[in-house]
Chain A
Amino acid sequence: MKSFALALVFSLGLFAGCKPSAPSASNGTADTPSAPGKQLTIAFMPKSKGNGYFIACRAGAEQAAKDLNVKLLYDGPTETDPAKQNEIVETWITRGVDVIAAACENREGISTALRKAQAKGIKVITYDADALPDARSFFVNQATPEGIANALMDEAARLLGGSGDYAIITASLTAGNMIEWQKAIEKRNAEKYPNMKRVALRPCDDLREKAFAEATAIMNANPSVKLLMNICTPAVPGAAEAVKQAGKAGLVKVIGLGLPSENRSFVKEGITDTVILWKVQDLGYLTIEVAAALARGELKAGATSFKSKRAGDVEIQGDNILLGTPFIFNKSNIDQFDF
């Protein structure tokens, strides 16, 4: 009993015995956040760290942090994992940051942690994928679901001449933005292209090799599929690789939301026809601009526009800050973009 009690007391006492929230004796680098005149600390979380899309986002965010002289913390799960996102948010609450900007894997799951952050006086915004509206002040929306869905569906219909079977590879069937995009694609499909038919919808967990496996499985199971529409970035090169290895280049077309850099070789080989995306680095940049403006009191609820150095004058609809319309990358212009 004695040794147990000893171990328990020691392991608990070691932290519990420490002084309660003593402001650490500043040694030059100390950054006690939210003190007036101090450098702002903005915590920036991707859905998953390995995803090239979020790496590009981060590059923009870091540029903005430099331009605005704010301290940027970057952390997130290595693979999409809502539980891990919550843990990181809770650690940031303990650490004390001024603003948390998160791309949310699971809307309900993360909202409890984000509300807790708000209750502790931390400003919260979301980007890329939203949380519940009461858990954040603003959502930096890269594009409206309709904007994305229409661009994808129109491009698919153009490539197939308005009729044929296609399949969708998504990141996960639970992520909020993915679901919205799927619904908007279905709507556009039903309204404008009655002869186009979606025959499969598969998740790839934001992993390229899983997308490769899913694309291969879809082509084997549904020989009628003429086009793979990939609505998460790792899936576009994953699906293109699958089509290439199956020797079906040209027979099965590949389009999707992707990074020009990851798809350049496939576009040039003629396997991938079109890559659709917004300027991702601008999304990261704008998110940090919004975070800083919010913390400094320059951006308030009810504003209808926001001046961005990179993205220009952006529109605010309610609490959605809109980055702009999607951009179409293809053989003719893909070399001009380096993200």
Chain B
Amino acid sequence: MRTPDSKSSAWKAVLFRFETLLLVVLAMECLIFTRTGTNFATQGNALEILKFSVEIGLLALVMTPVILTGGIDLSVGSLLGLCAVCFGKFWRDAGMEWPLAAVLTLGIGALAGGVNALLITRLRLPPLIVTLGSFSLFRGLAEAITKGTDNFTGFPPDFLAFGQGYYGGIIPAQVPVFAVVALAVWLLVHRTTFGRSFRAIGFAPEGARYAGLPVERRIALAYILSGVVAALAAMIYVARVGQAKADAGTGYELLAITAVVLGGTSIFGGIGTVQGTLLGVATLAVLKNGLQLSDQPSELAGILTGALLLLVLAGEAALKKFSARRARPAILPAKPNSTP
């Protein structure tokens, strides 16, 4: 049934999609910073932006399924710190080879995510409260392990290469890892029944339960995934900075949530895409980098990030209102018939 009318409304659907709006914002950022920044529009800088987005990007990617289910994970930044410290401890004090330490660290991430999942699904506690607790708990553990002062440095070069090396002298070593995780999360959310169930749970948890979905298991999966990827992000962070300290990743959870929400995912769950999150991450990273290359103080990034988030959300709401008003006349004529 392809009438000219349905074709034009399909175009409108693309035009009014949230991702399109965000793409325009991103393109505008790039245009402005190309003019104001020194060496902004270079291949080297593009890859540099990508390199610095990897940790936040990873956290945002796995935050997306969590928020889709109507939950939130405030503990990822703290967990990043805890995993960084555990990795350092395993490698230096337990004398393990770094690959073994890395595997164990991923295990710790899974375990920590599992603790969140258990409290949320078994005890039916609100995710906000549970992860607010583990936010303090994980950071506290990290500080306790290092007594707030110990700092792990001097990691082997073949490990540091994961955060500081370049493939072919061009592609930062952590970028392929990020691409793989991005693709995997995208497949999970958009191409499997798991993904559909995340959204169904976010829309109506009780409805999903009556429809026979294993709601608890699906929610648990989202939080465990979040934990494992936080551990991965921790090791990339350690490799990039060359040190593991208890304050690693402070505030990252809020940046990740900002990127997800900026990317069009509803904080109430049910609506959102992985590609939107990627665009959200890119928008924030370009803003920060562009301001620095324009010799602007970094505190301006905070102001503009906040302003951008509010502006884009307001823009989205306005678009919705506008398209709803346009759509109404099509429905209205049918009404008189149905009313007595």
Contact = CB atoms under 8 A, between A and B. Distances in A.
A182 to B, nearest CB: 12
Given A21-B39, A88-B298, A112 B278 contact: no
Given A20-B43, A22-B42, A31-B38, A81 B289 contact: no
Contact of B43 (A1, A16, A30, A112): A16
Interface string B246-270: 0110100000000000000000000
Interface string A189-222: 0000000000000010000000000000000000
Interface in B198-257: 237, 240-243, 245, 247-248, 250
A15 B38 contact: no
Contacts of B164: 112
Contacts of A22: 41-42
A319 B69 CA distance: 58
Contact of A108 (B30, B48, B154, B289): B154
A266 to B, nearest CB: 27
Contacts of B145: none
Given A22-B41, A174-B149, A15 B52 contact: no
Interface in A69-116: 73-75, 78, 81-83, 86-88, 90-91, 94-96, 106, 108-109, 111-112
A11 interface: yes
A7 B275 contact: yes
A302 to B, nearest CB: 30
Contacts of B48: 90-91, 94
A12 interface: yes
Contacts, number: 126
A18 B34 contact: yes
Contacts of A158: none
Nearest to A74: B297
Main DSSP-derived SS at the B contact region: helix
A18 B282 CA distance: 16
A106 B237 CA distance: 15
B7 interface: no
A301 interface: no
Contacts of A75: 292, 297-298
Interface in A11-35: 11-12, 14-16, 18-22, 24, 30-31
Interface stretch (B19-27, B91-99, B115-123, B127-135): B19-27
Given A83-B237, A88-B292, A109 B243 contact: yes
Nearest to A83: B241
Contacts of A24: 38-39
Given A18-B34, A24-B38, A174 B151 contact: yes
Contacts of B173: none
B49 A15 contact: yes
B190 interface: yes
B39 A94 contact: yes
- Of B49, B154, B182, B242, most buried by chain A (CB within 10 Å of CB) is B242
Nearest to B190: A4
Contacts of A82: 241, 243, 245
A10 B273 CA distance: 16
Contacts of A18: 30, 34, 41-43, 46
A4 B275 contact: yes
A21 B43 contact: yes
B158 interface: no
Contacts of A31: 38
28 contacts: A4-B275, A6-B275, A8-B182, A10-B23, A11-B23, A11-B279, A12-B50, A14-B26, A14-B27, A15-B286, A20-B42, A21-B42, A21-B44, A22-B41, A24-B39, A75-B292, A78-B298, A82-B245, A83-B237, A87-B52, A91-B292, A94-B48, A96-B38, A106-B153, A108-B154, A112-B164, A173-B148, A203-B148
Interface of B: 19, 23, 26-27, 30, 34, 37-39, 41-50, 52, 148-149, 151, 153-154, 160, 164, 182, 186, 190-191, 237, 240-243, 245, 247-248, 250, 273-276, 278-279, 282, 286, 289, 292-293, 295, 297-299
**A-B interface, 9 closest residue pairs, ranked by CB to CB distance from nearest:** A15-B46, A7-B275, A173-B149, A18-B41, A108-B153, A20-B43, A11-B282, A91-B292, A174-B151
Given A83-B241, A91-B289, 11 more contacts: A3-B19, A7-B279, A15-B49, A24-B39, A30-B38, A75-B297, A86-B241, A96-B38, A106-B153, A108-B243, A111-B242
